[in-house]
């Protein structure tokens, strides 16, 4: 169990640029989640995959945000035309198959985005 990994760990970009983050879940976990965390807040749900299918999207996920998990393994989160309000920590989590809701989500270290 190598844990959830995220790359890059830090990203500084200029307003209007596109950024892409990658998440590699724990290998046997078929569920993958993206969250956003701002200072003083808990993680806010963005989107969720089961295998390659994107099953839920938060209304926080504007049309500038897109996430993929093409082969049901790693996932990418892209933000187009970044805005200063996108500055946050982006967290990825994964969980193993199980009856819904009680499984434990394991989090990666996060990608901290700063939009100048």
Partner 1 sequence: AQSVAQPEDQVNVAEGNPLTVKCTYSVSGNPYLFWYVQYPNRGLQFLLKYITGDNLVKGSYGFEAEFNKSQTSFHLKKPSALVSDSALYFCAVRSRGGGSYIPTFGRGTSLIVHP
* Pick 82 or 105: Cβ nearer partner 1: 105
Q: Measure Cα distances from 112 to 13, 19, 31, 44 in Å.
A: 11, 12, 22, 15
Record the tokens describing residue 106, joined without a space. 């394991």
Site for partner 1 in 3-32 (CB under 8 A): 4, 6, 31
Site for partner 1 in 43-102 (CB under 8 A): 43-45, 48, 56, 91, 93, 100-102
Least distance between partner 1 and beta carbon 87 (Å): 15
Three-class SS of 25-39: CCCCCCEEEEEEECC
Least distance between partner 1 and beta carbon 38 (Å): 10
Give the span between the Cα atoms of 69 and 77, in whole angstroms: 9
Give the interface with partner 1 as residue ranges (CB under 8 A): 4, 6, 31, 33, 40-45, 48, 56, 91, 93, 100-110, 112
């Amino acid at each position: 169990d190598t844990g959830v990994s995220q790359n890059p760990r830090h990203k500084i970009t200029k307003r209007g640029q596109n950024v892409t983050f990658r998440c590699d879940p724990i290998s046997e976990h078929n569920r993958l989640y993206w969250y956003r965390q701002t200072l003083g807040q808990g993680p806010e749900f963005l989107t969720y995959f089961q295998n390659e299918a994107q099953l839920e999207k938060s209304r926080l996920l504007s049309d500038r945000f897109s996430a993929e998990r093409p082969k049901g393994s790693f996932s990418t989160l892209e933000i187009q035309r970044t805005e200063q309000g996108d500055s946050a920590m982006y967290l990825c989590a994964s969980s193993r198959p199980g009856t819904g809701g009680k499984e434990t989500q394991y989090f990666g270290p996060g990608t901290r985005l700063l939009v100048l």
